[in-house]
Every structure is written in structure tokens, then in C-alpha cells.
Chains A and B, each alone.
Chain A
Amino acid sequence: MKALVLNGSLSAGDPTDNCQAIILDELNQAGWDADTFVLRDTKIAPCVGCFGCWVKTPGKCLIDDAADDIARSAVASDLFILLTPITFGGYSSEIKKALDRLIPTISPFFEKIGEEIHHKLRYDSSPNFAVVGTLKGPDAECERIFETLVVRNAINLHSQQYAAAVVIGDPTDESRVTIKEALEATGVKK
């Protein structure tokens, strides 16, 4: 089994960055392989909204950079993990830059899911989806926005299983339990 981990921490050694080792350790203990991208050290150009990845080179972005490696890994993964400081309830700019460049992996065509229109899958299946977000302190409003965003993303990514984990402050043994529960909920079992 394989996971793709995107680390969206903005600075080395911050609480978000420190969660990466826990995630990789839990994956390793469960016998999973992982592709890990520390996004602040990865050169990715922002999406320019041209839709070339849908109508010029279907399935591939016109920009050739590390986002292509991330998209390839996402398609081959069983679990897609984001690690991010919770930023105004959302994801960090580093995570957003990478996520915006993943639209080649979905289809431009629309379908109805429940009462809403969404894009169809391009590939036969989609990875499960786990997001680990960090906060400096308890913040109910930020947690609500973050958890809702994860649910919305899971619908659009067509992820069958998804989970959001919130870590407060520097990761502790308790944080490891929180992260482990999110990974178990998205298929990581020993």
C-alpha cells in the first residue's frame, strides 16, 4: 500500500513540520510506502487557470515541474495525506499551490452527486483522504471550517474514506493518537 504525503508547513521545525515524522512512522509501522513532498522546498508554479490540462493536453498540466510528480503519485496512491497549519480555517498557501495543480487528475465533465454538481473521476478510483491540521491553541471556529473543508474536498476528490485530525501546539503522545486514528479511519491498519 502506498501513501502520498504533502507537507505544507511554512518553516522547518515548526509544529506542523514536526508531525511529518509521526505520520511517516505510523505508515512505516503499518508496512506502507510513502512519497513525501516538503512543499516549501519543492519548486511548483501556481495554477494559472487556463484549463489546458483538460482541453489541450488532457490529464496533464502544461507546466512541467514537480506538480507533475505529485499528480503521478496521487494517482498511484491508496491514501492522500495533507499536513498543514490551519490557516484561517483552511490550508496553507503551500498546500493550496499543490492542490490547485492537481486538477489534471480529475475529469472536466460534470455529474450529479447528491444534490450538487461535481467533476467526474478521470481514473477508475481515487485515494482515501486524510488531513492533519495544526493550530497554536484550541479554536472551535477554525476547527469547524477546517473539518468542513476536508469533507468538501473528499466529495470532490471522490474519496471513499476520509478523516481530519487537529493537533494543538507541538505534537505530543496524545497528538500521535489523534493522527493514528485519522490514518486508521482512512485504511492504515497494521
Chain B
Amino acid sequence: MILLLNGSPKPAHSTSASLGEYLLDRLTERGVQTSTLRINSSINTPESIQEMLTAIEAADIIILAFPLYVDSLPYGCMRAFEIIAEKYHNAAKNGQRMIAICNSGFPEASQSEIALDICKRFAAEVGFEWMGGLALGGGAGLDGKPLDKAGGMVRSVIEALNSAAEEIAAGQPLSEKTISLMAKPMMPSWLYLAGGNLSWHLQARKNRVHKHLNDKPYE
């Protein structure tokens, strides 16, 4: 059983879900059983926490997909890590293995390195075997679209996840080739910068606040 933990705080249409679900689909095609939980819905009540812990206990491989928030994992993922560590500390029952996929709103995949280091350290502390981490720069450009509808810019992302599915199904850790494919920029950084800045203007215009984008309400 492979468990996808979706660490995006967004209730729907997240890039984490796009990446995680594409990977799960490729694994399902290979006959692997999969399930998915949203972390932010799994950490608030004793019942939802128990459901998450039970799913983790039943899993052979845990895939955590999350967005980079302030150079690290979002609150929900850190809270889930604390809860899981309290239960498992160095004693994962079933020898689970773990993979993490981090996407950031910056074009450089390298900005996610420290978040993946935190995931790797978590895995070591709870006794999960670390199978590797994938970092995607410019994930905000996907805007939660399914990968097969995101056009040519995600070609290397799709190649990376196809390759990851093959490695996961074969019980292998993620290879350097897969990690490098995922880290390949989807577009030049100058284009990402220009496109990103334009996108904020357009979104604000839609909300009729484009003249207030640089407001300083706390001054």
C-alpha cells in the first residue's frame, strides 16, 4: 500500500495534489494499491489523527507532497511530523519507507533543499527508510492544474514522475537522474519573474485592488 499525504494547506487545486496524484496514477497502473489523505484535515481531532496513524501503519511507502512555505514545510506538515514522531519515535512498526516531493513558488529547485533535509531527518527519527526527495521550482506556475493538462512546460516533470513511479514500484530509492529531471527549470528565471509579477497584477485587477498592491496597512 502506498499512502499519499497531501501537505498543501489549500483545500483544492493545489500543485502538491497535481504532482502527488499523477504519481499515484502511474503506480496504480502498475497494480500498486494506493490511498490519499489531506494533512490539514488529519491533524485536528483525535479521530482524524487516529485515521492518519492507522493509514501510516498500513502503508509500505509514504509519499509526502507539499509546498515550500517560508523555506520549510507548512504548519500542517510540521504538526503531523510531531504527532507521528510522538507515536513512532525510532520504532516504525512496519518498516515504512518515505519519499517527499516539495514544490516552491521560486524557480530554483535548490530553494527546497532544506525542507527536504527536514523530511529526511524526520524519517530517520521515526524509523522510516528515506527513499529520496524531489524538488520542483516554479510549482506555482502549474496552479493546481492536472499535469496532463499543463502543456509542454511540464515535460520534464512528467518524465521525472514516470521515472519515480518505476523506481518506487521496483522498491528502489529515487535515482539522481529522477531528482535532476524534477529539478530542471520549467522556464528561464527571467520569464518566471516577469510572468509571476504580471500574474499578481492580473489577479489583483480582477479583485479591483491593483492600485493597492503595495499598500502598507501596518504603517
Contacts and interface: CB of A to CB of B under 8 A. Distances in A.
B191 to A, nearest CB: 11
Contacts of B193: 110-112, 117
B122 A117 contact: no
A55 B216 contact: no
Interface residues of B, number: 51
A75 interface: yes
Chain A contact surface mostly: mixed
Interface stretch (A12-20, A97-105, A168-176, A177-185): A97-105
B200 A89 contact: no
A90 B78 contact: yes
Contacts, number: 153
A76 B219 CA distance: 8
A93 interface: yes
A55 B70 contact: no
Which of A50, A88, A93, A149 has most B Cβ within 10 Å? A88
B8 interface: yes
Interface stretch (A22-30, A57-65, A158-166): A57-65
Q: Which of A51, A100, A105, A123 has the most CB of B within 10 A?
A: A100
A78 to B, nearest CB: 15
Contacts of B107: 117
A48 B209 contact: no
Given A50-B10, A56-B207, A87-B78, 7 more contacts: A87-B81, A97-B75, A97-B79, A99-B69, A109-B196, A117-B189, A148-B114
- Ranked 10 nearest A-B pairs via Cβ: A93-B79, A55-B203, A75-B218, A152-B71, A97-B75, A93-B78, A96-B75, A88-B122, A88-B121, A59-B217
Interface of B: 8-11, 14, 40, 67, 69-76, 78-79, 81-82, 85, 106-108, 110-111, 114, 117-119, 121-122, 125, 189, 192-193, 196-197, 200, 203-204, 206-207, 209, 212-219
